Amino acid sequence: MSGELGERLGVSVYVVGGFVRDLLLGIDNLDVDLVVEGDGIAFARALAKENGGKLKAHERFGTAVVHLPDGFKLDVATARTEYYEYPTALPTVEQSSMKKDLYRRDFTINTLAVALRPRQFGQLIDFYGGQRDLKERLIRVLHSLSFVEDPTRVFRAIRFELRFNFQLSKETLALIKGAVKMELFHRLSGQRLLDELRLLFSERTPRHAVRRLSELDLLRFIHPKLTWSNRLDRRLIEVEAALDWYKLSCLDRPISGWLVYAMALAEAMPDQAVHDMLKRFPFADAERTALNEARFLTQPACRTLSRRAPPKPSETVRVLTGLSEECLVFLLAQSLTDSAKRQLSLFLTTYRNVKPALTGKELNALGLKPGPLYRTILARLTEARLDGEVKSEAEERALVK
Ligand code: CTP
């Protein structure tokens, strides 16, 4: 539909970047990036109107996002036309603006485009050897200033390398080493670097990402005191296992896996370094709180759970309630006794869902006046349930009386 609409508006439309790369790799990707040769915003506006979608336009950048009613999201960009080389020869002009647009991109594998215009529908456009590099499984920059223009691309390179199990091309690796030597990353804002690290540690193998960052001497740009060690590696293996278990056992609860890895990195750093890191990176409030919980509450919680006389379930609940999911998984990744591990996994899967059979309604029917007392009674009943003191509603009623 985009191609036909483009035809009617007299503009060429292409699907570009990650979507095409993943299509050729046989990987699902629902993020569609369109490039329009012509007025991208006018195109996006018409697209939204014809399909009952919502439009968000950024006039300054010539970009727009269209949310279609079926949940589909399309990013629309305008191929800059100020570079027209041969204003009179239309096909060359079109190619030229597209070629220049794609030249701004990071790696050859991200420069592939597919034409959507009816007459050229499905035609693959490959100016920079993207198909060859996909076949040879190589991450390759388009030009030698790519990392100078945007140092976050170094982290993107590692992300793609690990995600697809590709390799950095020889010259790309040399350029990364150059960027490290020139310390280009100090120029990056905390926000940009954090965004990139968040994405990197949201991939499937953050442990390998840490290893790779260390090999390329990049960990020091997170903090100079952050270094790779066998101990850190072991903790990352434990985090990986804990997250795998969590995802299988607590299906309905979303979790930011990357944050658990960040907790493991913070654990490997001296206090002052963590303090600096929290200052440099603009973590969201909840993330910051979770990182601090992991620093200050993990050890006391471990001690309680690992006590020789194991805590009652109600005590386990008291210690763990209120901690973020990420901190709980980080706890699970600590070297705990078997009994502590059991308590923690029971908390995650069972204890925290335990509720008494009686509710406020029944307490009212029992003649108790509504008020703060209800809360206390229900909390006490929950404890009694957890610790096996009561097993049925009748027993709960008896306890209340
Ligand atoms: N891009 C770039 N330099 C950056 C970020 C992005 O050149 N620092 C380009 C890439 O060529 C990419 C496109 O912008 O194809 C869109 O960016 P993004 O959506 O982040 O990339 P994807 O390749 O779609 O990555 P992912 O699969 O992780 O979404």
Nearest CA to ligand 1 atom 15: 17
The reported pLDDT for the residue numbered 302 is 92
Q: Which residues of 86-105 are buried (b: 16+ CB within 10 A; e: fewer)?
A: eeeeeeebbbbbbbbbbeeb
Ligand 1 site residues (CB inside 6 A) read 17-18, 31, 33, 105-106, 110, 150, 152-153, 156
CA 72 to centroid of chain Cα atoms: 19
Ligand 1 atom at minimum distance from 29 CA: 27
End-to-end CA distance of the chain: 69
Q: Is 370 helix (H, G, I), strand (E, B) or coil?
A: coil
Residue 87 pLDDT = 41
In 3D, which of 250, 277, 253 has the Cα closest to residue 263?
277
In the reported structure, the alpha carbon of residue 246 is separated from the centroid of ligand 1 by a whole-number distance in angstroms of 30
Distance in Å, CA 163 to ligand 1 centroid = 14
| Residue 74 bridge partners (DSSP) | 32, 66
C-alpha 400/C-alpha 173 separation (Å) is 70
Best residue among 74, 103, 141, 156 to mutate for probing ligand 1, ranked by most atoms within 8 Å of CB: 156
Distance 33 CA to ligand 1 centre (A): 10
Measuring from atom 9 of ligand 1, which residue has the nearest CA? 105
Q: Whose CA is nearest to atom 25 of ligand 1?
A: 18
Can you say whether the dihedral through the CA atoms of 320, 322, 326, 327 is positive or negative? Answer: negative
Taking CA atoms only, the protein residue closest to ligand 1 atom 24 is 18
**Alpha helices (H) in 36-151, listed in sequence order:** 40-50, 90-103, 130-136, 146-149
Ligand 1 mean position, distance from CA 17 (Å): 7
Q: What is the DSSP letter of 310?
A: P
Tell me how far the alpha carbon of residue 194 lies from the centroid of ligand 1, in angstroms: 16
Return the ligand 1 atom nearest residue 152 CA: 8
The CA 35 to ligand 1 mean position distance, Å, reads 13
CA angle 224, 226, 229 (to 5 degrees): 140
What averages of pLDDT result for each successive group of 10 residues across the chain (401 residues)? 78 93 93 90 94 93 90 86 44 65 94 91 95 98 96 98 98 98 94 98 97 98 97 97 93 92 98 96 97 94 91 95 96 93 95 93 89 92 96 92 80
